[in-house]
Structure 1
């Protein structure tokens, strides 16, 4: 059966689409906000064992309908089969080389500097070029260290602390605040009862209270006075319907760091004020951290959301779809004003 979706696969810079055309059965690509690496899976019919076995470490790029949806490194190749079901070959890839130094523990400390300076040094040791949001790069720290921690671990820790996204893609490591305008195209989903819209299904909770708190409290130490203190801030509009307080367990180094942590938690509470999933006809332009506009479902659900995860799925027999995981409802989502 011929594919209904246009696709192309490159391995180590060579277009192997024509060689795979008779054997490729399924493509799955996932892009998540946060530290999780982009991933890709290719499933091939290996009935005759005729495909040359790809090698881990090879570079792979995938396009769907002419749009590149993945670029990364092969990290595993698996063969499976049974007596009655034939044989298949599964090729999995990640957005960065998992054999590299991203996960190597390091020992490095910095006095009187910025978060950006420290991460650039750490990234250089691990073989990565750092791209850091200026709002984060210029944050001053009296002391910051990696005590047997890897670039991946430090990046994830700082992202949680500062309300940011940390991502490794190829030779680049990126740290950027959640909700920034990355110049990504807005994705639209339209539901029409006659089936003419591009929205296949939705499952959305536009107003969630499970992860919402009234306020945030972060303990810190006043170094001059030698006193333990607490930095407090309201959680904003999202916290108006909550009673619980989000008390951070770790102790901040000083008031500035406590404020940074509190503001990040506040932003996360707003981000998690609603959630859901939608399935669309294939939209290869969709990327994590872009905005998604929902139309045609109902009042209080239609509105704008933040995309936190994208999964593109295409198969020889089943067509192609894009699944989006959503958070941060805006523009009427969560409010029925009738």
Structure 2
């Protein structure tokens, strides 16, 4: 193709429109983040004579780079920009969540004595979604679940924070997976990414050590009816270089829920102990929750990091690049043994 050396394809409303867009396309940017329920995509087109018809609202969009699907979703916004000396452009924004569907409809629901997997699948089905739950969170159970005038999307985001999960909606499918467990939040196989200085690593800024309040234990309380008093439930975070505890004002319904919430906070604390971002030559298979291995930068920085988000960008000026936001240093990162 004449755009860049990397192969790409754009499908709109079930039709391959790549050949029509190719002369006008200036950039494609697709972003997937572990802590965001929706993937996003922005397609920028030159629009000097207005010859491209505007896509319809919620029209299905598929984007492939080098044969790999990097985005699947629906048109959400179309913006025309123009000005003297600037020319005219059309920017098409898309989201993996279909706005206006039952996924975003607020409802009131409750269920007793179900596993999180069963509750998520039942309520997801009512919203038109097929739900997959994977990792340690699959066995989470509670005596009572409630959707408090929330949409399934809002409930899923709240549950992800409470039980330590990554939540993703991709069209008619939804995924809940345990964070920091090496499981893809989009159903794809996770491939470790090597970012090597002098090879595919273009630029970056990494803080392998971030000194912020951190805790060896997290304590959340619940009211024990039999004992007639509040009980604190301590959970280790996995951070061993401090001897402090975070005693939160968050309360839980019972001991099991208190442990779940404390473990979720602990996972997040461990995840935030270092991080940064790197730009590498395009890696269409890069996914959040995979490990990025930094090599050749310097001792203490080199090592493994958890990928938190990925942005694939294809441009006429720069070709195909991937920006990785990385967290949770491991494998020697953060320690200079010299």
Normalised by the length of structure 1, the TM-score is 0.94
- Which of the residues 198, 212, 233 maps onto 1:210? 212
Partner of residue 59, structure 1: 60
- Post-superposition Cα deviations, 1:241-273, rounded to whole Å, max 9, x if no partner, equal 364x32332210001111111122222211111
1:188 matches 2:176: no
State the shift of 1:134 in Å: 5.7
Per mean C-alpha deviation after superposition, the further-off stretch among 163-172 and 208-217 is: 208-217
Partner of residue 224, structure 1: 226
Partner of residue 294, structure 1: 294
Partner of residue 50, structure 1: 51
**Tell me, what secondary structure is at the counterpart of 2:249?**
coil
Contact map agreement 1:10 1:60 (CA 8 A) in 2: yes
Contact map agreement 2:135 2:181 (CA 8 A) in 1: no
**Tell me, what secondary structure is at the counterpart of 1:136?**
helix
Distance 1:320 1:134, change over 3 A: closer
**Tell me, what secondary structure is at the counterpart of 2:62?**
strand
Per mean C-alpha deviation after superposition, the further-off stretch among 287-296 and 217-226 is: 217-226
Contact map agreement 1:129 1:171 (CA 8 A) in 2: yes
Q: How does 1:1-338 map to 2 (within 5 A)?
A: 2-133=3-134, 135-182=136-183, 183-192=189-198, 197-236=199-238, 238-241=239-242, 243=244, 245-338=245-338
**Tell me, what secondary structure is at the counterpart of 2:322?**
strand
Whole-angstrom distance in 2 between the partners of 1:257 and 1:2: 53
**Tell me, what secondary structure is at the counterpart of 2:154?**
helix
Whole-angstrom distance in 1 between the partners of 2:328 and 2:276: 10
**Tell me, what secondary structure is at the counterpart of 1:246?**
strand
In the alignment of these two chains, the number of paired residues is: 332
Contact map agreement 1:60 1:72 (CA 8 A) in 2: yes
Distance 1:167 1:109, change over 3 A: same
Distance 1:167 1:211, change over 3 A: farther
Whole-angstrom distance in 1 between the partners of 2:243 and 2:154: 32
Per mean C-alpha deviation after superposition, the further-off stretch among 264-273 and 162-171 is: 264-273
Whole-angstrom distance in 2 between the partners of 1:12 and 1:258: 46
Per mean C-alpha deviation after superposition, the further-off stretch among 312-321 and 281-290 is: 312-321
- Post-superposition Cα deviations, 1:17-46, rounded to whole Å, max 9, x if no partner, equal 111111111111101002341100000000
Distance 1:322 1:134, change over 3 A: closer
Whole-angstrom distance in 1 between the partners of 2:23 and 2:152: 41
Partner of residue 186, structure 2: none
Whole-angstrom distance in 2 between the partners of 1:204 and 1:13: 41
Contact map agreement 1:294 1:304 (CA 8 A) in 2: yes
State the shift of 1:233 in Å: 2.7
Distance 1:66 1:113, change over 3 A: closer
Distance 1:211 1:44, change over 3 A: farther
Q: Which runs of 5+ in 2 are unaligned?
A: 184-188
Per mean C-alpha deviation after superposition, the further-off stretch among 211-220 and 123-132 is: 211-220
State the shift of 1:214 in Å: 3.2
Normalised by the length of structure 2, the TM-score is 0.94
Per mean C-alpha deviation after superposition, the further-off stretch among 261-270 and 37-46 is: 261-270
State the shift of 1:207 in Å: 1.5
